[in-house]
Structures are given as structure tokens and as C-alpha cells.
Amino acid sequence: MPVCAQAEDAAAEPAAPAAASGTFSEEQEQLLWESVTRALLRLGKSGATESHTRSLSELLDAHKMVKVQVNAPASTASAAAAALAAGAGARLVMTKGSTLLFAQAGAAPEGLLQLATESKARTAVYREKLAAAREKKRDELRATEAKRESNTSRSTARTKIHRMIDNVSGGGGGGGGGGDLSRSALLGEWQQLAAGIAAEEAGDESQLGAPKSKEPQQPWKRREAAAGAEAGRGGGGRRPRTGRGGAPPPRR
């Protein structure tokens, strides 16, 4: 074949648009690439169609830079890139694997770099807010779990209290006689249990960030204080009449 014919055939073949490697430095190319987080247009094995070209043009009007994913052999991808660039008024900025980064043909390099810097900053802020929201959700779950465990511990403490009451009243022994615990033993058990409850509540409040509550009330202290006050009034006074078992006397 004559050389002139070969030159004519080569000129007739559409050349794939090359990345503007001389326009941007390697660092600037990385910035442009990272500023566009995902591909907004995907091409299949059939290559670029008129619909793809129209969609790319609309996307470039809105975003200035667009990534296109080409799921096709290299020859088809090269032809698709050329068709998109010619039909959508786009310029191929760079290529990585099967993904193409296009920009508007008339966009200045300085404008693209400024756009990429702003886009990357917005993406960083969004990711920080997303991470903070996830951490807050994890904290709420941990607080809920701690509260559930605290409720379980309090339920166990109430069970122990009821068991001690049964022992004193004689319910735990099964017979009708006195309880299994003396008064001093009961006070010791109760004080130990109250101290444990106070420690658990203090731990729960420190985890939840709430102010510490007062120590749990101890009923026997109130009864002892009331008995002492009654004796201090002059225990020789007349005591009210009562019936059997401490009940009021029947009316006559």
C-alpha cells in the first residue's frame, strides 16, 4: 500500500483523547481524581451511545468534572472516550484503569484545581460529621447496655432483700418459729447490701455523666431514731391502748 494511502487511513481513524499530563503535576492530578468520589456514568460492552453522550453533557454542566466507568475491552473504551469527548464537548483529564475523568472542554486548569480543592474540603467535612454521628450512636448503645446491666443488678439486689425479710419473718425456714437471722446479723447484711447498691449507683452515674445521688436510705436508722425520740419524751407517759397483735382496741 502506498505511503500516502496509509497516511490517509491513519488520519481517518479517530484517535483516542490523551490525558493532559503536561497540564497538571502528579500531585494536582491526584487532587483532581480524589475530588470526584465516584463514577456518575457507566458504559457497557456496546460503548458510548447517543444517550451516554447527552447524559455526560448534562452532568458536566452540573458538576464540571465527571468520572465515567467503562466496562468494556480496551479498544471499545478508547473509542467510547473519543466519542464522548467529541459529542459532549468534554476533555479527558486522566485515566485510571477502566475509569475516565472528563472535564468541560472550555474549563481553565486553575478553575478545575480550585473546584477540586473546594470539593475535597466539603468531602472531608462530611466524613468528619459522619464519623461523629457514628461515634455518638455507639456511645448511646453503650449507655443503654450499661443501664440494662444496672437494672439487672438492682433486680438481683431486690431479690436478696426479699430473701432476708423472709428469713427474719420465718418464711424462709418454712416453720412458724423465729427467723434465721438475728437483729445484729440482719443489720450487718443490710449495711453490706446498701453499700453495694451505693457503689453500683455511683458507677452508673459516672458512666452516664449524671451527678451522684444520695446514699440509699436505711429504714432501720429511721426506726431507731424514732424510738429514741419517743423514749426522750419521758418514757413513763401513758402508752396508747392496743389490742392483740398491736391492733387498735375494739370500740365498745
Q: Read off the pLDDT of residues 49-62 as tens digits, 9 standing for 90 and up.
A: 899 999 999 999 98
Position 4 scores a pLDDT of 38
**Band of residue 101 on the pLDDT scale cut at 50, 70, 90:** very high
Position 13 scores a pLDDT of 39
Which pLDDT tens digit goes with each residue over 175-221? 444 455 566 777 777 787 778 777 777 766 665 555 555 555 555 56
**Band of residue 234 on the pLDDT scale cut at 50, 70, 90:** low
Q: Which residue matches cell numbers 488520519?
A: 11
Q: Which residue matches cell numbers 502528579?
A: 26
Position 23 scores a pLDDT of 78
Asked whether residue 41 carries a pLDDT value surpassing 50, the answer given is yes
Q: What is the mean pLDDT of residues 98-102?
A: 92
pLDDT over 90, % of the chain: 12
One of 3.40.980.10, 3.30.110.60, 3.40.50.300, 3.90.850.10 is the CATH number of 3-122, namely: 3.30.110.60
Position 172 scores a pLDDT of 45
Position 158 scores a pLDDT of 72
Position 58 scores a pLDDT of 93
Of 244, 157, 150, nearest to 203 (Cα)? 150
Q: What is the dihedral of CA 124, 128, 133, 136, to 10 degrees?
A: 170
Which pLDDT tens digit goes with each residue over 138-184? 888 888 888 777 777 777 777 777 776 666 555 444 444 445 556 67
**104 strand-pairing partners:** 90
Q: Contact 79/46 with Cβ under 8 angstroms?
A: no
Amino acid occupying residue 110: E
What nine digits make up the cell of 136? Answer: 455518638
Q: What is the mean pLDDT of residues 93-112?
A: 89
Contacts with 112 (C-beta within 8 Å, 6 or more apart), sequence order = 32, 64, 65, 93, 103
Position 177 scores a pLDDT of 46
What are residue 204's phi and psi, to 5 degrees? -65, -40
Position 47 scores a pLDDT of 84
Position 60 scores a pLDDT of 92
Q: Contact 17/101 with Cβ under 8 angstroms?
A: no
What nine digits make up the cell of 160? Answer: 436478696
Mean per-residue pLDDT of the chain: 73
What nine digits make up the cell of 216? Answer: 440509699
Q: What is the dihedral of CA 80, 84, 85, 87, to 10 degrees?
A: 130
Which pLDDT tens digit goes with each residue over 62-89? 889 999 999 988 888 888 888 898 888 8
